[in-house]
């Protein structure tokens, strides 16, 4: 990536290669109220999930798509969670 982030490329089931954060691996649980997206190493794109702390309660593990943490390569940040919040705030400001 031009932003210099460590990226893992995962081929999704639709055959598309998706750049994900190398350090963005998360345990996830499917939830109707979830608003997170992860891509598993098997190439499954899981939407509407929540992140959980331990494997015990997780439905699986996946990687966070890089576009979530880096909406703009120029404003890349090291901490995914922070970047996400910053992106949301930026969105609200521009509304």
Please identify which residue in 41, 76, 77, 84 interacts with Zn ion, judged by CB under 5 A: 76
CA distance 15 to 1: 20
Please identify which residue in 10, 70, 83, 87 interacts with Zn ion, judged by CB under 5 A: 70
State in angstroms the smallest separation of the CB of 37 from Zn ion: 16
CA distance 8 to 11: 10
CA distance 75 to 57: 34
Residue 5 lies near Zn ion (rule: CB under 5 A)? yes
What is the binding site for Zn ion (CB under 5 A)?
1, 3, 5, 70, 73, 76
């Amino acid at each position: 990536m031009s932003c210099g982030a460590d990226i893992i490329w995962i081929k999704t089931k639709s055959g598309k290669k998706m750049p994900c954060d190398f350090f963005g691996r998360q345990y996830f649980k499917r939830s109707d109220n979830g608003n997170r997206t992860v891509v598993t190493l098997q190439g499954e794109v899981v939407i509407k999930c929540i992140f959980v702390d331990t494997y015990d309660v997780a439905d699986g593990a996946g990687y966070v798509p890089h576009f979530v943490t880096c909406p703009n390569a120029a404003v890349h940040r090291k901490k995914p969670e922070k970047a996400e919040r910053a992106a949301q705030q930026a969105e609200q400001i521009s509304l």
